[in-house]
A and B are shown apart, each in its own frame.
Chain A
Amino acid sequence: MRRIVAVGSGPAVRGHTERYARFDDAVLVGVVGGDPTAEGDDSTAEGGGVEDDGDRDGDGDVERYESVAQALESAAIDGVDVCGPGAAHGDAVDAALDADVPVRCDPPFALDETRLDRLVSRAAASDGWLLTASPHRHSRLYGHLRSAVEAGDIGSVGVARIKRTAPFEPVGWNCSYAGVAAAPTPIDALCSVLAHDADVLEWTFGTVGRVFARAQTDARTDHAHAVLSFRDGGRATVEATWSGACTPEPRLEVEYSGDHGRLDFDEHDASTALRNGGGAKRVDPPEDDCRGRLLRAFVERLGEEPSSVPGVHPEHPSRVAAAVRRSVDEGRPVALAEESL
């Protein structure tokens, strides 16, 4: 039985708690951070935009710790699960790696390039490791798209587009992405959202070599867009909008266009299998949705030899997110160094 400590608060931790409770070979032994029973929308289903159906297995039935260090001192822990971007929970990632304990987080694991390099070095020197893949990699939908691309359905990519919108309410920053609420600024939060898209784009189309990004923030509305250039020549745009006043639909649009064709879907394609009244309801059991399968992969990796797991995986999408952050700050395109690949 793998023993896990979760880091985070509110709906982010609650979503993970619910999924670990359904695993036969893992148990959540503690939570570091806020109250996992705090209210909020935690719709993390594939494609986003699917309402929680109220299933709350395992809520609140765990030890509470002040820090990862305290948790590691108090109990035998096999893995630390950061419920949100590592960039927003740096101390937890540091503490786990310092103690040679494997740790998982959402991308980006850092938005500052200096800290990013430091964490890569630390993970390489640790008997632990850092898994920082987006749940999108475990989505059947994104998986099918990737398979289609690999099979040559669209030929070589010309332009990939991902556009998403989400509301502030009811819990402020982050309703749709676990843990983004912890980002220190709206732009950091937007970059954390973009990191998921950068991850799935690199997973599908290869490494990004250059980014240019702009961001606008306001008390009630924030927006960021990034133009990405893949090393093989394709291009991509990623847009993220958060609105406190309204949630325009569709909340998600994805399109991959290549020289032989196009693949696309939107929120409705991703979430209309079951509807009740005006809202989409999730169909997959929590342990088998994209986040559930991500946590499944984490638990299974805990059983592998440390030498078989890279220090940080995947590393580059977080570098893309950090480059986006820098491009926003500096108002110029940022090239990703060859050595970072």
Chain B
Amino acid sequence: MTVDVGVCSTAHVNAEVYAALLSKLPEVNLVGVSGETGARVRKQANSVGTEAMSHRQLMRAADGVVVCSPTARHEELMTLALDHRVAVLCEKPLGTSLQTAKAIRDRWENRGVAAGMAMPIRYSRPMRRLKERYEDGTVGELVAVSGVNRGRMPGGWFVDPDLSGGGAVSDHTDHIVDVVRWITGEEVTEVYAETATRFYDIDVEDVNLLSMTLSNGASFVLDGSWSTPQKNPFWGDASVELVGTTETVSGDCFGHQFDRVRDTGRGRHTESIYWGADPNNALLRDFVAAIRGDSTVETSLDDGVRTAAVIAAAYESVDRGEPVTVTY
């Protein structure tokens, strides 16, 4: 039995990726792509052989949607989905503020409709193996965590603070904080943030350096800057190192790469190609299972609130110039 799934908004860079993957899943009927900018929506819908439609039309047609709008519209679109009892997989972060994220979570609580965060890193096989090693005691007592999640500056609404809620802190804190929470079972208790706008002439920060502590006392440093050059052979990175009393273990989500150098075309062109299993595919399959009631989405809306709390603490730390206790 197939389920009807749609992509709600084409604003996020991942909308195209999700639409392409959903169109190929045999258990999915990709019923449509919705959005405000007609030409862009039609182009994306055509590219995957589905229909362009309004958000309301999509909600009436779908069993579940992947919300890929600017962060500031998450609350509105998720409310629309809930009104139509349509399951949601929401791009991160959940809201532009901790207050909004909590409001979304609370609204969905006990409503019997599947909802979760689009956090593919939890489905990354290196991260799953890392979690297994942590849980089987390979690492011993956790002493420190080091993570990176850099990327190219995405532009567009991502650099409009009214639509995104912020820059690199808002965009590139969630994934690694979420996966470290998931692997270790520890919460971030304190954040010190150093931010700056150094790479681009934009209205939000592109430097995102966080020094944190976990609830077990371990330190946790994260570089989530938009520091990857636009001409870098790969878009960015996502890796975690767990320093323990017994062993140090690290996972690199996109470590499986090969290099491609082409002399054809205009000028020389070098790319690094990821060849490992696609975590987005596993994420979407899990979402489909959740729509059917066979599973739950790995990253819940409450998890989304918890990373939103870390982001809020990071911005507060910047304002105060000191470490800030995370309030959940």
- Measuring CB to CB, which residues of chain A are less than 8 angstroms from any residue of chain B? 156-159, 161, 163, 165, 212-216, 218-223, 225, 227, 229, 233-235, 237, 239, 241, 243, 245-246, 248, 257-262, 331-333
Contact B200 A237 (CB under 8 A): no
C-alpha spacing A216/B322, complex, angstroms = 19
Asked if B296 is an interface residue, CB under 8 A from chain A, the answer is no
Residue of A nearest to B148 (CB): A161
With known contacts A158-B225, A223-B144, A245-B245, A216–B219 Cβ distance under 8 A = yes
Contact A262 B219 (CB under 8 A): no
C-alpha spacing A157/B321, complex, angstroms = 21
Q: Which residues of A contact B219 (CB under 8 A)?
A: 214-216, 223, 225
With known contacts A165-B248, A214-B213, A245-B247, A158–B199 Cβ distance under 8 A = yes
Q: Which residues of B contact A235 (CB under 8 A)?
A: 194, 196, 198, 207, 209
CB-based closest 6 A-B pairs? A158-B198, A223-B144, A257-B227, A214-B219, A225-B221, A248-B248
With known contacts A229-B194, A259-B200, A332-B323, A216–B223 Cβ distance under 8 A = no
Contact B194 A227 (CB under 8 A): yes
Q: Using an 8 Å CB-CB cutoff, how does the interface string of B232-265 with A read, 1 for contact, 0 for none?
A: 1000000001011111111000000000000000
C-alpha spacing A165/B146, complex, angstroms = 12
Asked if B211 is an interface residue, CB under 8 A from chain A, the answer is yes
C-alpha spacing A222/B218, complex, angstroms = 11
Contact A212 B194 (CB under 8 A): yes
Residue of A nearest to B250 (CB): A248
Contact B223 A212 (CB under 8 A): no
Contact B227 A158 (CB under 8 A): yes
With known contacts A159-B225, A229-B194, A218–B141 Cβ distance under 8 A = yes
Contact B141 A241 (CB under 8 A): no
With known contacts A233-B196, A248-B250, A159–B323 Cβ distance under 8 A = no
B interface, how many residues as a size bin? 35 or more
Q: Which residues of B contact A333 (CB under 8 A)?
A: 192, 321-322
With known contacts A214-B213, A243-B248, A257-B227, A157–B198 Cβ distance under 8 A = yes
C-alpha spacing A223/B142, complex, angstroms = 11
C-alpha spacing A81/B262, complex, angstroms = 53
A to B CB contacts below 8 Å, 21 in the list? A158-B196, A159-B207, A159-B223, A159-B227, A214-B221, A220-B246, A221-B243, A221-B244, A221-B245, A223-B143, A225-B219, A225-B221, A233-B196, A237-B209, A241-B144, A245-B140, A248-B248, A257-B228, A261-B229, A332-B323, A333-B321
- Measuring CB to CB, which residues of chain B are less than 8 angstroms from any residue of chain A? 140-141, 143-144, 146, 150, 192, 194, 196, 198-200, 206-207, 209, 211, 213, 217-219, 221, 223, 225, 227-229, 231-232, 241, 243-250, 321-323
Contact B199 A262 (CB under 8 A): no
Query: Count the A-B residue pairs with Cβ separation under 8 angstroms: how many?
Result: 114
Contact B229 A257 (CB under 8 A): yes
C-alpha spacing A213/B140, complex, angstroms = 24
Q: Which residues of B contact A229 (CB under 8 A)?
A: 194
A18 to chain B, nearest CB (A): 32
B139 to chain A, nearest CB (A): 10
Contact A159 B198 (CB under 8 A): yes
Cβ contact of B211, chosen from A157, A212, A260, cutoff 8 A: A212
C-alpha spacing A163/B211, complex, angstroms = 14
Contact B143 A212 (CB under 8 A): no
Q: Which residues of A contact B243 (CB under 8 A)?
A: 221, 223, 241, 243
C-alpha spacing A272/B82, complex, angstroms = 58
C-alpha spacing A243/B218, complex, angstroms = 15
Q: Which residues of A contact B228 (CB under 8 A)?
A: 257, 262
Residue of A nearest to B232 (CB): A262
C-alpha spacing A29/B124, complex, angstroms = 60
Q: Which residues of B contact A165 (CB under 8 A)?
A: 248
B245 to chain A, nearest CB (A): 5
Of B140, B146, B218, chain A has the most CB atoms within 10 Å of the CB of: B146
C-alpha spacing A228/B84, complex, angstroms = 50
C-alpha spacing A237/B323, complex, angstroms = 16
B325 to chain A, nearest CB (A): 12
Q: Which residues of A contact B206 (CB under 8 A)?
A: 158
Residue of B nearest to A214 (CB): B219
Q: Which residues of A contact B199 (CB under 8 A)?
A: 158, 257-259
With known contacts A220-B245, A237-B221, A225–B323 Cβ distance under 8 A = no
C-alpha spacing A221/B240, complex, angstroms = 17
B215 to chain A, nearest CB (A): 14
Contact B223 A237 (CB under 8 A): yes
Residue of A nearest to B221 (CB): A225
C-alpha spacing A53/B207, complex, angstroms = 42
B270 to chain A, nearest CB (A): 14
B200 to chain A, nearest CB (A): 7
Residue of A nearest to B213 (CB): A214
Q: Which residues of A contact B196 (CB under 8 A)?
A: 158, 233-235
Contact A227 B209 (CB under 8 A): yes
Contact A156 B209 (CB under 8 A): no
Of A161, A257, A333, chain B has the most CB atoms within 10 Å of the CB of: A257
Contact B247 A246 (CB under 8 A): yes
C-alpha spacing A161/B228, complex, angstroms = 13
A211 to chain B, nearest CB (A): 10
C-alpha spacing A258/B199, complex, angstroms = 6
With known contacts A235-B198, A246-B247, A333-B321, A257–B211 Cβ distance under 8 A = no
C-alpha spacing A262/B233, complex, angstroms = 12
